[in-house]
Chains A and B, each alone.
Chain A
Amino acid sequence: MSSRYALPSLSLRFVAVWQRHFLVWRKLAIPSILGNLADPLIVLFGLGYGLGAALGEVGGTSYFAFLAGGFMASTTMYAATFESLFSAYSRMHVQKTWEAIVNAPMTLEDVLAGEWVWAASKALAAGICMLAIVAAAGHASFPLALASVPVVVLIGLAFAALGLSVNALASGYDFFSYYMTLLLTPMMMLSGVFFPVERLPEAVQAVSRVMPLYHGVELVRPLLSGALPAEALLHLAVLTAYALAGFYLATVLTRRRLLT
């Protein structure tokens, strides 16, 4: 089919899809927000204070502050990923919600764009909760720390686009374990979330630099502590490229799956 590789034609119609997801989320907003708060609380305070006491300073700052920046980026990565894998798959394959939507004057691109922006919105919610915790612990330096919020949205868009591509290939929920275990977990280890990338061998560092999460961490960590990130434009460009190329890939793969 010739139009399978066409660029996605986006319209504002996707807002209705976003709104549908928002309305569902609103019914379960309180447990969802509590989860967004509890998860980083446990890890940050457990590892940050516990491990931090043994480690002392890491990367020129307290381990808690170091971990906060990395973990904020990885938390948003996981928030966008879960939404674009498990939740999107339920709506696409199990509930056939997408099928119902495209019977209305909506296109598959509208549905995908709605999923994409929605998953990034979930990342935003997770990021804001995280920022609140870091601020409450006294490790966020305002106003610059607020600049981490749009960065979180960009991380969300990048990982939502990748997640939607994986979703288009999925044969069932189990399929997602490959992506999570084989790609995301190693990425978290290589992207400077728990320890500085400089500790890794040179060759491995080169791998880190192609990982989208690495660029997210490099932006969020300095912003939280009130510093402007080095090579900020490069990091933003890489994340944007992942988001846009990933969304194009997701569009092509989803067309292949559903429009044949």
Chain B
Amino acid sequence: MNSLDVRGLRKSYAGQEVVCGVDLEVAPGECFGLLGPNGAGKTTTLRLCLGLSEPDAGEIQLLGHAVPARAREARAQVGVVPQFDNLDPDFSVAENLMVYGRYFGLGRADIAPRIPRLLEFAGLGGRAESKIQTLSGGMKRRLTLARALVNEPRMLFMDEPTTGLDPQARHLIWERLRRLTQEGRTLVLTTHFMEEAERLCGRVAIMDHGRIIVQGTPRELIAQHIESQVVEVHGPGVDAWMTEAKSHASRTELAGETVFCYANEVEPLIAGLRARPELIYLHRPANLEDLFLKLTGRDLRD
């Protein structure tokens, strides 16, 4: 049985459909990434899956419970890391975990022995008595993650877990999330960092305008939908060079001052570029971000 099964999910706000028929399956122990630009419907989809909002249509099974009818039972076995930290500023680090555990119906005797382990996991050993206001952004994020584990959940939902963190803090979170996957927990995360999804997720779905456009392993999706190599070129005369490049690349794209060339075989392109020292180029393998931009476009989203 899947940890999460979503069929035909729909939700409108004020006459505008923000989730338009989403189907999702997340197997136990999987790390699943829901990707999409801002406003794609990721957060709404998560809220619906958790029973925090009522769908207009569709069926949701979360850990074997029908949601929203039995959302309470489902959430008892789930941990949630929200997009914006909502730690309790009136409490210390350890008190935050204690108070949050009580919302799961746990007693002091159940929670107290878990606190040192959770703090160690979050890299906050020795900070038990610290006030929330004294923590850095990364520490708050780690504490929010620890708080989501206070009920020893089988499954975790994370909405943009590393947004706003510096690389050090981000890598630490990634390392912890890998540890959680190794422990056999199921992870569902939303992100718009493709690098994050590629590193962490066994399977991803790309969502835009309330619909899932593609689903699969990052490698499969890149292989299926996009050329394997990318050459990014900029510099004086790049426009003129682009016409020449079109014959060597299966796809070229001009974004601002930069030309993106996608091809499986890039040697002819590189050879041409060596002869033009005024052009600056970067050759790299195609990644999930290239796929993402191909599918969702380069237009800004607000």
Chain A residues with CB under 8 Å of chain B are 1, 3, 13, 16-17, 19-20, 23-24, 27, 95-97, 99-107, 259-260
Cβ A24 vs Cβ B86 within 8 A: no
Closest to B14 in A: A260
Complex: A103 Cα to B150 Cα, angstroms: 12
Chain A residues with CB below 8 A from B103, complex form: 13, 16-17, 101, 104-106
Given contact pairs A97-B88, A105-B103, a sample of 13 additional A-B residue pairs in the complex whose CB atoms are under 8 Å apart = A3-B54, A13-B103, A13-B105, A16-B102, A24-B90, A95-B88, A96-B84, A101-B103, A103-B50, A104-B104, A105-B73, A106-B72, A107-B72
Please tell me if the beta carbons of B100 and A104 are within 8 angstroms of each other in the complex. yes
Q: Does B91 contact A (CB under 8 A)?
A: yes
Query: Is B38 among interface residues, defined by CB-CB distance under 8 A?
Result: no
Q: How far is the CB of A14 from chain B (nearest CB, A)?
A: 11
Determine whether B237 belongs to the interface, using a CB cutoff of 8 Å to chain A. no
> Which residues from B are CB-within-8-Å of A99?
82, 86
Cα(A17)–Cα(B99), bound, Å: 9
Chain B contact residues, CB within 8 Å of chain A: 13, 50, 52-54, 72-73, 75-76, 80, 82, 84, 86-91, 95, 99-100, 102-105, 151
Chain A, residue nearest B96 (CB):
A100
- A224–B84 Cα distance when bound, in Å, is 50
Q: Which residues of B contact A3 (CB under 8 A)?
A: 54
How many Cβ-Cβ contacts under 8 Å join chain A to chain B?
A: 61
A105/B90 contact (C-beta < 8 A), A19-B102, A259-B52, A259-B53 known: no
A-B contact pairs, 22 of them (CB 8 A): A13-B103, A16-B102, A16-B103, A17-B103, A19-B99, A19-B102, A20-B102, A23-B99, A24-B90, A95-B88, A95-B89, A96-B84, A97-B86, A99-B86, A100-B87, A103-B50, A103-B52, A103-B80, A103-B82, A104-B75, A105-B76, A259-B54
Q: In this complex, what residue of B is CB-closest to A111?
A: B103
Contact check: which of A13, A23, A103 meets B95 at CB < 8 Å? A23
From A13, A96, A260, contact of B13 by CB (8 A): A260
A77 to chain B, nearest CB (A): 25
Residues A100 and B100 in contact, CB atoms below 8 Å apart: yes
Chain A residues lying within 8 Å of B72, measured Cβ to Cβ, are 105-107
Which residue of chain A lies nearest to B95 when distances are taken between CB atoms in the complex? A23
The 10 closest A-B pairs by CB, nearest first: A104-B103, A96-B86, A103-B80, A105-B76, A100-B86, A16-B102, A24-B90, A105-B75, A105-B72, A16-B103
Question: Within 8 Å CB of A23, what residues of B?
Answer: 91, 95, 99
CB-contact partner of A1 in B52, B54, B73, B89, under 8 A: B54
Q: Which of the residues A13, A16, A17, A102 comes within 8 Å of B52, measured between beta carbons?
A: A102
Closest to A15 in B: B102
B72: nearest chain-A partner, CB-CB: A105
